[in-house]
Structure 1
C-alpha cells in the first residue's frame, strides 16, 4: 500500500478528484495552498492536514466559514478516520484512508512548486529546540524518548503553522520554519513573533503531561527568530524541493542557541520590523559562533497590550491645494500663465492632483506631458517626450499642416526633430543646422516657438513629472519657457520630491526672482484622518467595519498610495471578508507592518511567468514597451502575463496602441520586483536587455546610447558600458550640453579607472580638459 492518507473530493468542478496526503498540506483557494480548491466560500488558507504518529490530523486555520467534520464544526486539532466527511465552504471531502506514516518519517517539503530558484525573499526564520534533549534521551527508553520528542515537535509545528509558518526542517528535538517563504507575506516578523510565543506556551503546557507520564520535572524549549533576505535554491534528485540559504538562517540558529530555557531571542532586524507591537528587552550585541561581528539581540517578552498604532498627523487636506489649482485654472482660461511646482514624498498624491487638474480643464486646453527619469542620462527627457506624444497623436498630413498653421519658421522644424531624437538618445541630434556653440539655444528657440504657436490657439499646460531628476538642458529649456508666462496662457506644472537637487533649486530660485507673481509652490503633506477615511470609502468595494476602517487608515499614515495598496492587499489576500460589512479576518497584529514587505509580497505572490515578466520590465525601467519582454524574460505568452500584472495592479498601460507602453503603478513596485532577484540573476537580466536592444535596434543604436551604457554597467560588463558612455558623452558635447557632457565624461572616467584601461583614461581626461577650457 502506498504511504499517506487518501481523500476524495465529492463536490464541484473537481468532484471525483483524489488527493494523496503524505506530508503537511494546507487546504484553500489561494495559490499558496498545497491542495488548491476552487470554492469562493473557503479562505485562501482554510485548514491544514498533517500526518501524525496517531493518524491524520485536521486543524482549521481561523477560516471565515469554519471547518466541519461529519456535520460538526471543529475547534481544534481533530483526528480523522476513514469514512469521515470534511466540509470546507461548499466543498465536501471524504476520507478514504488515513495512511500509516508517522510524523517523524514525513519529510518537510513545501507544497509550493519549485519556481522561485534564483530569487531573493525577505523572510523571518524561526528555530526552536528542546533544551537538554541529550540528557532526556539518557533517562528514557528509546520508545519513550521518541514519543516525548514527537509530542514536542508536533506541538511546535502546530504553533508555527497556526500563524502561517512553513516547516523547513526537523532536527530530532526541534524545527526550523520560515515566515515569508515559499508564500510571501507582508507581516512575516509579526507572524514569527506570535508563533514563537505560541511555541513556548505549548511546550510549557505539555510539560505537565510529561511530568505525569515520565516523571520528568523540567521540559523547556528555546526559540530564536531572525529576519532578512534569503536566496532560494533547490535540493533533491527526482523530487526537487526549494530551500532558503543565507546568513539570515545562520544567525537565527545562533540566536536560538543563545536563548535561556523557555525564552525567545530575536535579531535586530526582527525587532525593528515589529514596530513597537511587542514588548522587547534589549540584550545588547551577542558574540555568536562562526561570525566575526557580534549580533544585535533582543528578548521577546510578549505582545504589547496597550499598543496603539501611531495616528497620521492632522494636517490640512487637499482643499487648499485644489482651491489654488482652480485659481490657476481660471487664470489660465483668462489668458494668464504660471509656473506651478507640486512637491511631496513619493506616493503622496502629486500625480493624482495633476490628473484632477486635467479633468477640471478638460478640452479647454492642450495638455502636454513628459517625465524625467533617474537613469540613462538622456537629454531633454520630459520636453522631448511631450513633443513626441503630441506628434504621435495625429497623422503625418495633419501634423504638417498644424505646424504650418502654428506659424513656425521652416528652420525650426529640424531643431524640433533634433530635440525629439536627443530626448531618446537619437542620432538625428547631429542633423540640425547651426554651430555647436548655439545649438542648445536654437533648440530652446524652436521649442518655445512651438509652445507659443499652440498657446495662440488655446491655453496650454506642460506637465513635467519628477523634475527633480531633470538633466540640466531640460531645466534650461523649461526656464526659457518661463519668459512666456507674462504674455501667453501657458501653465508649466511640475512635480518634485521635497529633496530637490542643486540644479533644480537653482532653477526654482531664478523663477522666483524673475517671475515672483507667476510662481505657485504647493507642498503636499499626508492626508488627515478624515480625508484618508473618505479616500478609503471611495476605493472600498462596500462599507467597511469600523475596526477595519480604523486599521487601514492608521497603517496608511496619510499616504494615498500606501492606503490604496494596503486595501488592495487585504482584499486580495483574504484579510477583509464580506459579512454584514467588510470586516477583518486577522487581528490587528497580523496586519501589514511595513510597505516593503507588502510590495515584495505582491510581486513574489504572482505566478512564475508573471513574475518573470515583472522582473524583465523592472530591469527595462519604470516605463517599458512590450517589444523586448519575450526575449528577456524567456516567457512565451507575454500578453497573458501582462494581463495578469494589469489585473494585479502591478503595472498600468501608460500609452495605448500603436506605441503601447506599460508602467509600474509606483516606483517602489519596480524596486520590489528588482529586490527579489539575486545579484547574479539581476546582472544576467541587464546584460540580456542590453543585447536585446542591440539586436532589435541594430539600425538605430545611437538612439539608445545612454540606456545601453546603463544596462551594461548594471550588468557588470564595464568595457561595453564605457564604449556606449563615451559615445553618449561625444553626442552631448556636440549638442553643446556642456554640463551634461561633463557629467557623462566624469562617469566614463570612473569606469575607465575600474577597467584599468590607461588609454581610455587618458582620452577621457583630455575631453574633460577641453570642456573646462
Structure 2
C-alpha cells in the first residue's frame, strides 16, 4: 500500500582487514580482480542464507536479513552467513597469500532492531535506516580481525542455538551508554523452532479443569457467586482452557457468555461487556411472569454428574461431561451455529432486557442502560448505575440456570471494567454465577491485589505444557497432507525432525506451536526456525499479497473490530471491493468474524484479528507517517458518520498527533490535529462528567489536557477550560485535596489570562469548598458575580450552577420560598444547557425546599412525584435524593409504611451504586420517619450510627444536624437529660447565627432542659431566642416546632394555660403545612393538660418530624 514501512530486521556489517597492504603489492587491475572476487564471495555467503546486500563501500559490505521478506529466523540466518563469510575469507585468504604474499581477513558486526525501509525491493536493493544500522556498524568497528561481535537483541534471539562469549561492553561514538556485546564463535547443531495453526485442540490441563469444575460445583450447590482468574503467559493456553470448561458447563445446562478486552479501541470502558449481554440473552427465554427461564434446564447438580469417556486431548486429561454436542461455548473466538451466541437481541433490546429483569421502574431503567451498552458499547449513564444494572442482570439470568461469564484478556481491561467485575463478585448473591477471568500476569503488576481479600475468589496459574503434551499437540497440528492446498514437502524422517524442533522451541507454549505450525504448513521451506512469536507473525504477514497486506493495515488502524465499510474508507480510491481479501485473510487464519450470528443488515458484518499479536505486528510494520495519516482519515470518516462520537474521533486524532510528534517538531497540520484531538476528548470528558461517569471523565480530560500541554504554541484559554473540567471531575471522584489545589492555581491563571468565565466558575467552586468565616455569604457573593458574568456570555451551564448556589444559600437560611424561585431558574438553565447532572442536583434541592418550605404537604408530595415520574427517568441516584424529602413528607401525613419503603430503596440504591458516603444522610431521614411514628429506640439507633459514620467521614455540617436530632429524640423519649445537655452544649452559638432553623432547634431544646430544672429565666431567654430565630424563616414546621417547645417548657414550669395556647399555635402551623402527625400531637398534648376545647383529637403517637 505504501513504499515506506517499519520492520525488525538483522543488519550485518563486514569490513576487510589488510586491504592497505594488499593494494601496495598489487597492480590496480589485479587489485580490482581480487576485490571483485571478494565481493562475489561475500555476496554468495549472504544470499545463500537469505540476506540482501544493500551496498558495498570500498572494502566493506552492508547486508540486511528481513528485507524484502521477513523470516522468523533472520537473526540466526545472519549469524550463519557471518560464520560462512569468516570461513570463506579464511580459505580464499590462504590462496591469495600463496599468490601475492599478502593475507586478508574480515571483521563483522551484527545487530537486530527496528528500521524504516523503502526502495525497489524487487530489484534486490533496499534502503534502510535506523539505530540498528548504526549499532551494527559500531560493533564491526570494534571487532578484532577474524571475529564476529553481535548486539544484545541478536544474542537474545539466537542464544538457544549459538555459541557465544560475552565481552566487555563497548564505548562507541554516538551512544550515551556502553553497548553490550558477545563474540559469536559457532552455531549448535539441531536448531529448533516451531509453530501451529489457531483453533488447535486442548491437550492435558486436567488439573486446571478439575479445579474449575470444583469451583462451578460450589457455585451451583451454594447458589453463590465465585470469581476465578486464570493467569498465564501469552499463548500458554489459558483462553483455550476457559473455552473447554465453558463448553462442558454449557453441555451441563449452564448459560455461558463471554467478553474480550482489547488493548486498543475507541469504545467506552465497559464496551467489552456488550457482546456478553447479547450472548447471554440469546440463551434465555421468558415466561408470562417475566422471570427468566432457561432454554435448557440444568437438571443435574454440578457435583456427581455423569461422565463420559476420557480423552487427554479433547478434555485436557480429565473426564468429559455428557450432554449435547451441537452447541459450542459462547466465548471470544468461538462461533456456534445456533447455540447461545446465535440470537441477537432483536429490534427492541430494551424491551427484551426489561422482560428478563422484570420488577419496577428501577429495573426498567437498568434495562435502558444495558440496551444502550449492548448496542453501542456505552451505557449512557454513570458507572455506578451501570454496574448495578449488570449486577441485576446477572442475578436475573442465574435465577433458574447457572451463569458462566468468561472475560478474556482481562489485563487489557479499563479500570471501570475491573471495578464492575469486582462489584459483581461482591454483590451478586443468592444466584449461581461463575465469573471466569483470563489474564496475563501483567494484570497483577497494575493491580497487585486483584481478587485478594475475597473469600469467593480463586487464582489459578496455567503453566506451560510438559514436553510429552506439547509433542502430542504438535503431532495433531502438523499434518500438511491433510490440507488439500498444501503440497507435502517432507519425508517421514524430515517430518519427525521438524516435530522435535517444534517441541524443543515451543517452551510448552501452545500459541507458539499453533502459530509456527501454521506458518510451516503454508511454507515451501520446512526448515524455518523462528526465534520468537513476533518473528513468526511477521514472517506470515510478509508472504501476503500487497492487496491483502493493505487490508490488514487498514484493519489495524480502526480498532478492535471493523466492517468492510471501515476498511474501504481507509483504502486508496480504486482499490476495489475488500470482501475477497477479507475472505482470503480469514482462510489464512489472520482474521475472523467478530459476531456469532448473521448481521441484521447487508455489509454490517464485523471482523477482528485472530490474535492481538498479529494486529500489533501489522500496526508496528506501518511507518509512523502512514499510521498518522490513516488515523486522521479514520477520524474524518467517523466524524461524518457519527459527529457526536467525540471519544472515537478524539482517540484517533490523539494517536495521529503523537505519531507526528515522534517524527519531529509539529507543523501547522500536526498542531491542528492535536488541537482537534484535545477538543474532542474534552467534549467526551465533559459529557461523561455530565452523566455522572466521573472516573471515565477524569481519564478523558487528563488526556485532553496532556494534548493541550503538548502543543508547541500555548493554548491558554483551551487549557484553562480543560483544567477546570478536570478539577471538577476529580472533585466529583472524591479527590478533593488535589482538586482544591488545582482550582486555586486555576483561579490565579484565569485572572492572569483575563478569562472571566473560568474565573467565575472556579471562584464559585472554591466558595463551596472553602467558605471561610462568612460561610454561605461567601458562596452568595461568588454566585451573584457569576450570574453577571454568565449572563453576559449566555453560559447556560454556568447560570444553572450560579442560581443553584444562590438557592442553596437561601435554603441554609431557611428561606425556602425564595430558594425555590432561584432553583426553578437554575432548573430552566440546566435544561437549556442539557446538563443532566446539574438538573438532578437542582431537583434534589427543590425537593428539600418542598419538604421544609411553605408549600402544603399534599402539594409538595405531588410535585416530588412529578419529579420522579417525568424528570429523573434513568437516574437512580437522583431519584434517591428526591425520595428522601418525599419520605419525610409522607411521614408528616402519617404514611410511615410508604416512607420506610422509599428510604429503604434509597439505601439500597446508594449501596448498589457504591455511594456509601451518602448512606448516613439517609439514616437521618429514616430517624425522622421513626420519630414521627413514635419508634424512639429505632430513631436513636439510626442517629447514633449516623453520627459515628459522619464523624469518620469528616462531614461537620451533617454531624451537627445528627447531634441536634439525637438530642431532640432523647429528650422526647425521656430519661437521658444529662446526655441531651452534653450534646447541645457542644453546639456553639456562633455556628448558629447564620442558620436560623438550627438555632431555633437548639434554643428550644435548651429551654426545655432549663424548664425541667426549674430555671424559668434561662428557659424564657432560650424560648425567646428560639421563636426569634424561627420567625426569620418561612418554614412552617420550624415555627410549629418552636411553639411546641414553648408549650413543653411552659408546662414543665407549671404555666399550663400558656402551654395550651402555645400548643394551639403549634397545631395551627402544623395544620397549615399539612403535617397531620404534628397537629395530632399538639392536640394530644393540650388534651393531656386538661383542655377540652377544639384542640382535642385522636392520640396519634409520634414526633414533630422536624
Name the TM-score, length of structure 2 as normaliser. Answer: 0.52
In the alignment, is the contact (CA less than 8 A) between 2:649 and 2:677 conserved in 1?
Answer: no
Aligned length in residues: 626
In the alignment, is the contact (CA less than 8 A) between 1:226 and 1:267 conserved in 2?
Answer: yes
Secondary structure of the residue that 1:206 maps to in structure 2?
A: helix
Counterpart pick for 2:645 among 679, 701, 705:
701
Shift of 1:506: 5.3
* Cα 1:679–1:144 shift into 2, 3 Å: same
Shift of 1:499: 3.0
| 2:296 corresponds to 1:412 | no
The aligned residue for residue 201 of structure 1 is 87
* Cα 1:498–1:317 shift into 2, 3 Å: farther
CA distance in 2: counterparts of 1:309 and 1:232, whole angstroms: 27
| 2:680 corresponds to 1:724 | yes
CA distance in 1: counterparts of 2:352 and 2:641, whole angstroms: 33
Alignment of 1:570-719 (within 5 A): 570-576=520-526, 586=527, 591-634=529-572, 635-656=575-596, 657-658=598-599, 659-698=604-643, 701=645, 704=648, 707-708=651-652, 711-714=655-658, 716=660, 717-719=673-675
| 2:495 corresponds to 1:495 | no
Secondary structure of the residue that 2:398 maps to in structure 1?
A: helix
* Cα 1:324–1:296 shift into 2, 3 Å: closer
* Superposed CA offset, 1:577-634 (max 9, x none): xxxxxxxxx3xxx622222222222223322222222222122224333331122133
**Between 126-135 and 160-169, the greater mean CA deviation after superposition:** 126-135
* Cα 1:138–1:504 shift into 2, 3 Å: closer
Q: Structure 1 regions of 5+ residues with no counterpart?
A: 1-114, 311-315, 431-438, 577-585
* Cα 1:240–1:116 shift into 2, 3 Å: farther
Alignment of 1:556-575 (within 5 A): 556-575=506-525
The aligned residue for residue 100 of structure 1 is none
**Between 630-639 and 193-202, the greater mean CA deviation after superposition:** 630-639
CA distance in 2: counterparts of 1:472 and 1:200, whole angstroms: 55
Secondary structure of the residue that 1:126 maps to in structure 2?
A: strand
Counterpart pick for 1:253 among 114, 129, 137:
137
Counterpart pick for 1:746 among 665, 689, 702:
702
Counterpart pick for 1:279 among 163, 174, 178:
163
Shift of 1:232: 1.2
| 2:324 corresponds to 1:324 | no
Shift of 1:735: 3.1
**Between 558-567 and 161-170, the greater mean CA deviation after superposition:** 161-170
* Cα 1:497–1:300 shift into 2, 3 Å: closer
* Cα 1:450–1:709 shift into 2, 3 Å: farther
Shift of 1:264: 2.3
* Cα 1:450–1:280 shift into 2, 3 Å: closer
| 2:326 corresponds to 1:386 | no
CA distance in 2: counterparts of 1:601 and 1:500, whole angstroms: 29
Name whichever structure is richer in helix by fraction.
2
Q: Which has the higher contact order (CA 8 A, sep 6+)?
A: 1
The aligned residue for residue 403 of structure 2 is 460
* Superposed CA offset, 1:462-518 (max 9, x none): 2222333333443443344335654222222222222326885556235x1xxx2x4
CA distance in 1: counterparts of 2:108 and 2:445, whole angstroms: 50
CA distance in 2: counterparts of 1:546 and 1:619, whole angstroms: 41
Counterpart pick for 1:757 among 700, 703, 715:
715
Q: Structure 2 regions of 5+ residues with no counterpart?
A: 195-202, 283-342, 481-491, 661-672, 737-1106
Secondary structure of the residue that 1:429 maps to in structure 2?
A: coil
* Superposed CA offset, 1:26-64 (max 9, x none): xxxxxxxxxxxxxxxxxxxxxxxxxxxxxxxxxxxxxxx
Alignment of 1:419-568 (within 5 A): 419-421=370-372, 429=380, 439-482=382-425, 486-500=429-443, 508-509=451-452, 512=454, 516=455, 518-541=456-479, 545-568=495-518
The aligned residue for residue 127 of structure 2 is 243
CA distance in 1: counterparts of 2:653 and 2:27, whole angstroms: 69
* Cα 1:291–1:500 shift into 2, 3 Å: closer
Name whichever structure is richer in strand by fraction.
1
**Between 520-529 and 188-197, the greater mean CA deviation after superposition:** 520-529
Shift of 1:181: 0.8
Secondary structure of the residue that 1:379 maps to in structure 2?
A: coil
CA distance in 2: counterparts of 1:402 and 1:696, whole angstroms: 28
CA distance in 1: counterparts of 2:41 and 2:445, whole angstroms: 60
Larger-Rg structure? 2
In the alignment, is the contact (CA less than 8 A) between 1:693 and 1:708 conserved in 2?
Answer: no
| 2:9 corresponds to 1:123 | yes
* Cα 1:507–1:210 shift into 2, 3 Å: closer
Shift of 1:731: 2.4
* Cα 1:599–1:251 shift into 2, 3 Å: same
**Between 540-549 and 602-611, the greater mean CA deviation after superposition:** 540-549
Shift of 1:557: 1.0
Secondary structure of the residue that 2:228 maps to in structure 1?
A: strand
CA distance in 2: counterparts of 1:460 and 1:711, whole angstroms: 39
In the alignment, is the contact (CA less than 8 A) between 1:408 and 1:449 conserved in 2?
Answer: no
Shift of 1:575: 4.3
* Cα 1:307–1:400 shift into 2, 3 Å: closer
* Superposed CA offset, 1:76-106 (max 9, x none): xxxxxxxxxxxxxxxxxxxxxxxxxxxxxxx
Counterpart pick for 2:66 among 157, 160, 180:
180
The aligned residue for residue 232 of structure 1 is 117
Shift of 1:201: 1.0
CA distance in 1: counterparts of 2:379 and 2:56, whole angstroms: 65
Counterpart pick for 2:101 among 212, 216, 228:
216
* Cα 1:406–1:257 shift into 2, 3 Å: closer
The aligned residue for residue 734 of structure 1 is 690
The aligned residue for residue 46 of structure 1 is none
CA distance in 2: counterparts of 1:270 and 1:218, whole angstroms: 30
CA distance in 1: counterparts of 2:346 and 2:14, whole angstroms: 69
* Cα 1:710–1:645 shift into 2, 3 Å: farther
| 2:33 corresponds to 1:158 | no
Name the TM-score, length of structure 1 as normaliser. Answer: 0.73
Shift of 1:414: 4.2
The aligned residue for residue 3 of structure 1 is none
Secondary structure of the residue that 1:662 maps to in structure 2?
A: strand
In the alignment, is the contact (CA less than 8 A) between 1:119 and 1:231 conserved in 2?
Answer: yes
* Superposed CA offset, 1:397-448 (max 9, x none): 7984674265243553444333454578778726xxxxxxxx5444344333
CA distance in 2: counterparts of 1:147 and 1:191, whole angstroms: 29
* Superposed CA offset, 1:137-190 (max 9, x none): 342234433332222222222211221112222445453322111111111111
RMSD value over aligned CA atoms? 3.4
Shift of 1:569: 2.1
Alignment of 1:350-369 (within 5 A): 350-362=238-250, 364-369=253-258
Secondary structure of the residue that 1:339 maps to in structure 2?
A: strand
The aligned residue for residue 266 of structure 1 is 150
Shift of 1:341: 1.8
